[in-house]
Amino acid sequence: MYCRQHFTENYKKVYELWRQHNPECRMYMDAKKLMNQRSYIMKHKKITEMEVEEMRRELQESQRSHVEEREKEELEHSGTIRNGEQKPGAESTTEEETEIHQQRNQIHK
Residues 64 and 29 in one domain: no
Query: Is pTM beyond 0.75 here?
Result: no
DSSP label of 79: T
Residue 2 pLDDT greater than 60, yes or no:
no
Go through 26-35 and write b for each residue having 16 or more CB atoms within 10 A of its CB, e for each that does not: eeeeebeebb
The Cα–Cα gap between 39 and 57 comes to 20
The Cα–Cα gap between 89 and 3 comes to 47
pLDDT, one tens digit per residue, over 39-70 is 898 899 888 888 888 888 887 887 787 778 88
DSSP label of 76: H
- 67 belongs to a structural domain: yes
- 90 belongs to a structural domain: no
Residues 33 and 68 in one domain: no
The Cβ of residue 36 has, within 10 Å, a number of other Cβ atoms equal to: 13
* Backbone torsions φ then ψ of 79, nearest 5 degrees: 100, 0
Residues 68 and 32 in one domain: no
